[in-house]
């Protein structure tokens, strides 16, 4: 990995230190150029005209996303964020009264709200798998929860509030064994490590563009295993997802784009395509090794600060650190570091309430180094934290 080139190509680094890839990362220059150039083209010749002129490039987005996660292009729908992508799959599933969903302690709050909505509306039941002693999903306990009524396994791979990496592929093996649909929230995983839907055995996978993938805000995508294209219809259709055949009938598209609608931001899509290609060119395993290595180092440095408690769960830990420093208010700390040009973040209990209640978590500090960071970035952050103590 040519880290100096990567840093030169990250214009945000000229303005400060960014340690928030799990919030919204710094985009590389080629991503920014793709968005800006598309907007300029639209301004110059018009939106529909720009779309027509760049149709081939825009169509290539589906190949780029498919390559990134080992899918087929017809299994990809481009959406505006991870929540929209996840919800498109979840709300399409024909769950009925008495059906049970298995989820995990680390489940993202938006997903859990959707479970509760369908509990209220459709009478489904929610089973939460206990964690093993490391704090990750207890895969044996998950298998033990499966019954005739289990209609979905829906888990979060990497939670919003820490470095835990849940055993997504082991869960997928169980889902396959019992032939239960498997919806994987990969929002915090894509872009920081290799992702392969074949190995994961998931039926649906959702993610966002702006985090570890370094794409533009307002982008995300859904993967939908090909076999579902025979049966799964979106909760809401339009004339793009299901063109009219005549005035009495429509025909649902035969690809995953049935989960899209007619109007989109093509400038952002151009940026998302470049972000996927950029990550693939560097290599997701190389990205993982560097980002996780820097994060391990940062955990060691933080642990030496007086009163600092690292809160990450799991044996295998990724590029997110959650921690508390006694005597420091997390919100004020974010603001004070921001005024020094250092971006770190927060993790609020409400974002992963099951886990927060179980562990009685307060608002925590969150840091997520990415591969474009270096040790000097980490040291500057540590020095700034020390000044606040
Ligand atoms: C685990 C997880 N899932 C889903 C989301 C939602 O992503 P988006 O904001 O793109 O909808 C987040 C965002 O922080 C997340 O951390």
Kindly report, residue by residue over 259-284, the tens digit of the pLDDT.
999 999 999 999 999 999 999 999 99
User: Residue 150: CB within 6 Å of ligand 1?
Assistant: no
- Identify the pLDDT of residue 61: 98
Band the pLDDT of 8: cuts 50, 70, 90: very high
Phi, psi of 99 (to 5 degrees): -65, 150
Ligand 1, atom 16, lies closest to the CA of 160
- Identify the pLDDT of residue 54: 98
CATH C-level class of 3-24+283-388: alpha beta
User: Which of 87, 90, 110 most suits a substitution to test ligand 1, by most atoms within 8 Å of the C-beta?
Assistant: 110
What are 19's two structure tokens? Answer: 């340690």
Cβ(77)–Cβ(61) below 8 Å:
no
Number of the ligand 1 atom closest to the C-alpha atom of 83:
11
User: Residue 212: CB within 6 Å of ligand 1?
Assistant: no
- Identify the pLDDT of residue 298: 98
User: Which of 24, 82, 163, 206 most suits a substitution to test ligand 1, by most atoms within 8 Å of the C-beta?
Assistant: 82
pLDDT digits (tens, 9 = 90+) for 230-269: 999 999 999 999 999 999 999 999 999 999 999 999 999 9
Ligand 1, atom 8, lies closest to the CA of 82
User: Residue 162: CB within 6 Å of ligand 1?
Assistant: no
Sheet containing 150-156: order of strands: 76-79, 220-224, 204-208, 182-185, 150-156, 100-104, 125-129
Cβ(344)–Cβ(367) below 8 Å:
yes
Mean pLDDT (the chain) is 98
| Dihedral over Cα of 376, 377, 379, 383: its sign | positive
| Fold type of domain 30-281 | 3.40.640
pLDDT digits (tens, 9 = 90+) for 306-336: 999 999 999 999 999 999 999 999 999 999 9
| Average pLDDT value for residue range 176-184 | 98
User: Which of 108, 195, 210 most suits a substitution to test ligand 1, by most atoms within 8 Å of the C-beta?
Assistant: 108
User: Residue 157: CB within 6 Å of ligand 1?
Assistant: no
Give the span between the Cα atoms of 359 and 129, in whole angstroms. 15
pLDDT digits (tens, 9 = 90+) for 68-107: 999 999 999 999 999 999 999 999 999 999 999 999 999 9
CA 86 to ligand 1 centroid distance, Å: 10
- Identify the pLDDT of residue 209: 98
Give the span between the Cα atoms of 39 and 254, in whole angstroms. 30
Cβ(53)–Cβ(42) below 8 Å:
no
- Identify the pLDDT of residue 107: 97
Band the pLDDT of 387: cuts 50, 70, 90: very high
- Identify the pLDDT of residue 385: 98
Number of the ligand 1 atom closest to the C-alpha atom of 156:
1
Helix (H, G, I), strand (E, B) or coil at 180: coil
- Identify the pLDDT of residue 131: 97
- Identify the pLDDT of residue 293: 98
Band the pLDDT of 111: cuts 50, 70, 90: very high
Give the span between the Cα atoms of 136 and 142, in whole angstroms. 11
Q: What is the DSSP letter of 143?
A: H
Q: Which sequence spans correspond to the domains of the chain?
A: 3-24+283-388, 30-281
């Amino acid at each position: 990995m040519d880290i100096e080139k990567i840093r030169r190509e990250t214009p945000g680094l000229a303005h400060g230190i960014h340690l928030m890839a799990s919030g919204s990362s710094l985009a590389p220059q080629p991503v920014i150029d793709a968005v800006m150039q598309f907007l300029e083209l639209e301004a110059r010749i018009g939106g529909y005209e720009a779309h027509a002129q760049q149709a081939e490039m825009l169509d290539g987005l589906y190949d780029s996303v498919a390559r990134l996660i080992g899918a087929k292009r017809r299994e990809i729908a481009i959406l505006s964020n991870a929540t929209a992508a996840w919800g498109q799959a979840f709300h399409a599933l024909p769950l009925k009264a008495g059906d049970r969903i298995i989820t995990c302690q680390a489940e993202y709050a938006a997903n859990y709200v959707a479970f509760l909505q369908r509990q209220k509306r459709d009478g489904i039941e929610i089973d939460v798998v206990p964690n093993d002693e490391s704090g990750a999903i207890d895969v044996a306990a998950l298998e033990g929860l499966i019954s005739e009524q289990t209609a979905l396994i829906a888990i979060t791979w990497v939670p919003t509030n820490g470095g835990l990496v849940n055993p997504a592929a082991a869960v997928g093996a169980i889902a396959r064994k019992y032939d239960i649909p498997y919806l994987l929230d990969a929002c915090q995983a894509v872009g920081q490590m290799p992702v392969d839907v074949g190995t994961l055995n998931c039926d649906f996978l959702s993610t966002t563009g702006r985090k570890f993938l370094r794409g533009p805000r307002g982008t995300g995508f859904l993967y939908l295993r090909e076999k579902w294209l025979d049966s799964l219809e979106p909760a809401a259709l339009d004339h793009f997802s299901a063109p009219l055949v005549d005035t009495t009938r429509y025909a649902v598209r035969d690809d995953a784009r049935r989960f899209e609608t007619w109007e989109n931001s093509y400038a952002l899509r151009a940026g998302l395509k470049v972000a996927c290609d950029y990550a693939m060119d560097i290599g997701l395993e190389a990205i993982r090794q560097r980002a996780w290595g820097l994060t391990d180092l940062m955990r060691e440095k933080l642990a030496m600060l007086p009163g600092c408690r690292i809160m990450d769960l799991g044996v295998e830990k990724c590029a997110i650190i959650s921690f508390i420093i006694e005597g420091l208010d997390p919100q004020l700390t974010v603001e004070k570091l921001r005024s020094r040009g250092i971006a770190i973040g927060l993790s609020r209990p409400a974002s992963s309430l099951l886990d927060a209640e179980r562990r009685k978590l307060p608002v925590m500090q969150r840091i997520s180094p990415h591969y474009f960071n270096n040790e000097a970035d980490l040291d500057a952050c540590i020095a700034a934290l020390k000044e606040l103590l």
